[in-house]
Amino acid sequence: MLGAVLAGTTAVIGTAGTAQAAPAAAPKPTKQCVTDNKLVPSCGVLWGAAAGGFSSLPRDQELKTWEKVSGRTSTIYHTYHKGDEVFPTPAEIAMTRDPKNPRVLLLNWRVEYGSTWANVASGKLDARIDKFAAHIKATYPNQKFFLVLNHEPEDDVNPKPGSGMTAKDFAASYRHVIQRLHARGITNAINVVAYMGNEKWMAQSWWKDLYPGDDVVDWIGLDSYVSAEKGYYHYGKFNDLLDRRAKNGGQGWYDWATSKHPSKPIMVAEWGAYHRVGKVTDKSAQFNSVLPELAKRPAVKAIVYFDTKKDAFGDRDISINSSATSLAAFRKLAANPLFNIKIA
């Protein structure tokens, strides 16, 4: 792995080491890919992961293990928080200041936890927001990081008027949090709105109301998965997780994002290929489809794998190494120089 420094310095992140008999490793990119002030790469695609989902082991330990298994350091380290939790934690900060393998945090925060989006939007949770802002200023003032607010909001929408959890309440909540953070001098947070992109939600009349506005959104994110088991729920390849569309027709998710918000880079903030636990299925086709599909979709500037042996319901294995052939295909993907990005 290549890498250089401490906070505030420029570092090269994520060059995969591959053991080959020939003198040359993976081909070098024709030009150096670097990030701008919104962490958007000039070329290439940022590589990331959330590892050890639903396990009891520390997430930083799980990610380091995953990186060894996959063969590449994760440029993006995805973590999850809610309510009044104090974060980034010392362990998370340490991962971004690792002299050999510095990383960029993708902090996922449910601000409304224990309350409602309407209460956040009306200022009733401002003390929670201000506490986070003060913590960032005190412990993490200079390094840029991604911030997702309440990922996958579709699952939490209650369209009943007055519920405090309508789609418009989410948009208002998101706007309020970002505007308040800006007012308190937080300039190093790069804001991401992360959808599920599930066809049943995209078909809802309220789905379009979730978007908080281009002025408070830096990246548009998607959490989406495919099954490697033919005939099982959401069977498909990498294009299928990007192209799902409402059941009543209309645009696929990627086409919606790029046509409605063409200035915004896209992050696949969670993705993965799964099979049912105990029904091991080769995931090579899914992993081999990533590069060709990324080539067709230039707006995708980051992909972040969610690795777990069992999902929240205990029935899906999303790990990269559920079979030897799956792991070999994933390691080949990870080694591609497309993911060599210089973080400035």
Smallest CA-to-CA distance from 303 within 338, 268, 329, 335 is with 268
Q: Is the pLDDT of residue 10 over 90?
A: no
What integer is the mean pLDDT of 142-154? 97
Q: Which residues contact 205 (CB under 8 A, 6 or more apart)?
A: none
Determine which of 26-40, 199-213, 215-229, 250-264 has the lowest per-residue pLDDT on average.
26-40
Per-residue pLDDT tens over the stretch 313-328: 889 999 999 999 999 9
Phi, psi of 205 (to 5 degrees): -65, -25
Alpha carbons within 13 angstroms on the beta-carbon side of residue 145 total 28
Confidence of residue 80 (pLDDT cuts 50, 70, 90): very high
Cα–Cα distances (Å) from 239 to 154, 192, 289, 318, in that order, read 21, 21, 8, 17
Condensed to tens digits (0 to 9), the pLDDT of residues 199-212 reads 999 999 999 999 99
Residue 34: which pLDDT band, with cuts at 50, 70 and 90?
A: very high
Residue 55: the pLDDT is: 78
pLDDT at 296: 97
β-bridge mates for residue 76, sequence order: 48, 104
**Do 135 and 189 form a contact (C-beta atoms < 8 A)?**
no
Verify cis geometry, omega within 30 degrees of 0, for the bond prior to 102. no
Residues across the chain: 344
- Reduced to 3 states (helix: H, G, I; strand: E, B; else coil), residue 60 is helix
Pick 197 or 149 by higher pLDDT. 149
pLDDT one-digit tens code per residue, 246-272: 988 789 999 999 999 999 999 999 999
Determine contact, residues 93/140, Cβ cutoff 8 Å.
Answer: yes
Using left for φ > 0, alpha for ψ between -120 and 50, and beta otherwise, residue 61 falls in alpha
Rounded CA-CA distance 39/44 in Å is 12
The answer on pLDDT for 13 being more than 70 is: no
pLDDT band at residue 7 using 50, 70 and 90 as cut-offs: very low
Share of the chain above pLDDT 70, in %: 91
- Find the mean pLDDT for residues 145-158: 97
pLDDT digits (tens, 9 = 90+) for 161-197: 999 999 999 999 999 999 999 999 999 999 999 999 8
| Cα–Cα distance list, 37 to 146, 164, 343, 344 (Å) | 12, 34, 10, 8
The percentage of residues in the chain with a pLDDT greater than 90, rounded to a whole number, is 84
pLDDT grade for 103, boundaries at 50, 70 and 90: very high
Rounded (10°) CA dihedral 223, 229, 231, 232: -50
The average pLDDT across 138-162 equals 97
Sign of the C-alpha dihedral computed for residues 335, 188, 344 and 1 taken in this order: negative
Return d(Cα 137, Cα 184) in angstroms, integer: 9
The pLDDT, as a whole number, for residue 30 is 63
pLDDT band at 3 (very low <50, low <70, confident <90, very high): very low
Q: Which CATH superfamily is domain 11-343 in?
A: Glycosidases (3.20.20.80)
pLDDT greater than 90 at residue 9: no
- For the chain, the distance separating the N- and C-terminal CA atoms, rounded to the nearest angstrom, is 17
**Residue pair 235/276 in contact by the 8 Å Cβ criterion:** no
Q: How confident is the model at residue 61 (pLDDT cuts 50, 70, 90)?
A: very high
pLDDT, position 132: 98
Residues sharing a CB contact under 8 Å with residue 134, sequence separation 6 or more, in sequence order: 184
Residue in this structure with the two tokens 């105990």, named with its chain if needed:
278
222 contacts 269 by C-beta, under 8 angstroms: yes
User: Would you state the pLDDT for residue 52?
Assistant: 83
| Mean pLDDT score across all residues of the chain | 91
